[in-house]
Amino acid sequence: MIAVNGKGGTGKTTVAALITAALIDKVSGSVLAIDADPNSCLADALGISSVQTIVGISEEVAKNIDNIPAGMTKDRYIEMRVQEAVAEENGFDLLVMGRPEGPGCYCYINNLLRSVIEKVTGNYDFVVIDNAAGMEHISRRTEGGVGKLVLVSDYSISGVRSAKKIYELAKSLKIKIGSAGLIVNKVSGPMSAIDKEVENTGLDLLGTVPYDDAVADWSISGKSVFELKDKTLSDTINNILSKLI
């Protein structure tokens, strides 16, 4: 399992989508992408515009409680519906958390997501999770344990320091982490400018992704990452992927 996290604006969702696309293209095996960010941007990045969400299913069941089959608890019924709602796409499957319609605590949804992850992920060779920006899902222990924790920073000292805080929080919560690494995204200058901060994170540097006008144009195009054709970017992501699998 590859869990991707980072503060907002670092490009973590784009990185998660690119890693997913690289797995599909370069590695033999089944792939599950999990959009655990309430903003549900990973689905868009992968070119999926319509999919059932965990939140949507939960709210639907709550509004139609009389439709729960006899002898089945509400939680078990929702869990069954969520497993059935895993979207089967071209080369990968997708599970989306979603955002509640109104204000409320995410505790129940996070617990449900964690339960589904534990039951579903064993059916796949590779799982990529795009987490909410910042530390929300780690502080709620959504994953429980991850094989690879990938922290994404932009080309800034604040981004690198934020990645360090997320890593330290994960360790303090005793989350089982096979290994953790840092990707510095949108690099527009010499790495020497932030080398000291990167070293201070205690994270292995998995790679750097140069700022690319093609990626900037893609981000406002509404297209999927599968349509983002850039050899330099592809080579960079493939090199990062080789360190993750």
Which helix (H) or strand (E) covers residue 25, if one does? Answer: helix 12-26
pTM listed for this prediction: 0.88
Contact by Cβ (8 Å): 207, 238: no
Residue 84, classified by CB atoms within 10 Å of its CB into exposed (0-12), middle (13-18) or buried (19+), is exposed
Q: Which two tokens stand for residue 190?
A: 């010499």
Residue 234, classified by CB atoms within 10 Å of its CB into exposed (0-12), middle (13-18) or buried (19+), is middle
Q: Residue 173 gets which letter from DSSP?
A: T
Instruction: For 24-62, give one letter per residue: b (16+ CB within 10 A) or e.
Output: beeeeeebbbbbbbbbbbbbbbbbbeebbbbbbbbbebe
Q: Residue 104 gets which letter from DSSP?
A: -
Which CATH entry fits the domain spanning 2-242: 3.40.50.300, 3.10.20.880, 3.30.470.30, 3.90.1150.10? 3.40.50.300
Each residue's pLDDT, cut to its tens digit, for the chain (245 residues) gives 899 999 888 999 999 999 999 999 988 899 999 998 877 789 999 998 778 888 888 888 888 888 898 888 888 888 888 888 888 888 999 998 887 655 555 677 777 777 777 777 788 999 999 987 665 565 555 556 678 999 999 999 999 999 999 999 888 888 788 899 999 999 999 999 999 999 999 999 999 999 988 888 888 888 899 998 888 899 999 999 999 98
Residue ranges of domains in the chain: 2-242
Which helix (H) or strand (E) covers residue 185, if one does? Answer: strand 176-187
Closest CA to 58 of 98, 117, 87: 98
